């Protein structure tokens, strides 16, 4: 894939996402600093393979890899220092407007905040998983309860506030979602900044 071909595919995908957002189907349009908007970038990483995802938590970036080191870079929010889990994972499931239920650990940690959702929340614009979710599994095929998902709180992009997941704006996760295949590898890099 040439830089020109990649740029055209990227612009077409973002244009379709913007059109979807204009229909009013997404509840919380995001205003983000320019650095967190999707951008076609050259990572200069020949060891990062096309189709894989790399999350650099201290920079708050998610890279969806194309060919020859090119990537679409998205701004993300990540897990708080004590909840962020670095590692290599596999996307084993994808969902549009997914149902959400806080994990048992979340309910134990903050019962006042999460116990009322113990029966789950149906998918929709107010759901904490947002418009789309990618479910991350470990090397043994177990669900890690880590997700790459949308958010109805776009102000959290560029912050470390989640319970461990990586979040994008709903518009951006809608753009990312069809690009990611089941079986894609996801690399969540260790945090250096533990604040």
DSSP calls for 78-147:
EE-TTT---EEEEEEEEEES--B---HHHHHH-HHHHGGGTT-B-SSTTSTTTTEEEEEE-TTS-EEEEE
Q: Rounded to whole angstroms, how far apart are CA atoms 20 and 157?
A: 20
Sheet holding 87-96, edge to edge: 39-42, 70-75, 61-65, 53-56, 185-188, 87-96, 132-137, 143-151, 166-169
The active-site residue, picked from 54, 142, 165, 172, is 165
Answer whether 121's CB lies under 8 Å from 145's CB: no
Q: Which of 28, 54, 142, 149 is catalytic?
A: 149
- 35 close to 167: Cβ distance less than 8 angstroms: no
10, 40 in Cβ contact below 8 A? yes
Active site residue 28: no
Tell me if 91 sits within 8 A of 183, measured CB to CB: yes
User: Does residue 165 have an active-site annotation?
Assistant: yes
Which active-site residues does the annotation give? 149, 165
């Amino acid at each position: 894939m040439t830089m020109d071909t990649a740029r055209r595919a990227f612009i077409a995908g973002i244009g379709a996402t913007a059109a979807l957002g204009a229909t009013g189907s997404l509840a919380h349009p995001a205003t983000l600093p320019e650095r967190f908007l999707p951008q076609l970038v050259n990572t200069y990483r020949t060891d990062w393979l096309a189709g894989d995802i790399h999350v650099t938590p201290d920079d708050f970036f998610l890279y969806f890899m194309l060919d020859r080191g090119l990537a679409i870079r998205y701004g993300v929010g990540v897990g708080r220092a004590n909840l962020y889990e670095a590692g290599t994972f596999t996307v084993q499931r994808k969902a549009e407007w997914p149902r959400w239920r806080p994990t048992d650990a979340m309910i134990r940690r903050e019962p006042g905040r999460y116990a009322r959702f113990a029966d789950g929340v149906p998918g929709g614009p107010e759901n904490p998983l947002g418009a789309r979710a990618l479910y991350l599994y470990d090397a043994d095929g177990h669900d890690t309860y880590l997700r790459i998902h949308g958010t109805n709180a776009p102000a959290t992009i560029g912050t470390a506030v989640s319970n461990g997941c990586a979040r994008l704006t709903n518009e951006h996760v809608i753009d990312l979602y069809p690009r990611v295949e089941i079986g894609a590898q996801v690399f969540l890099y260790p945090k250096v900044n533990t604040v």
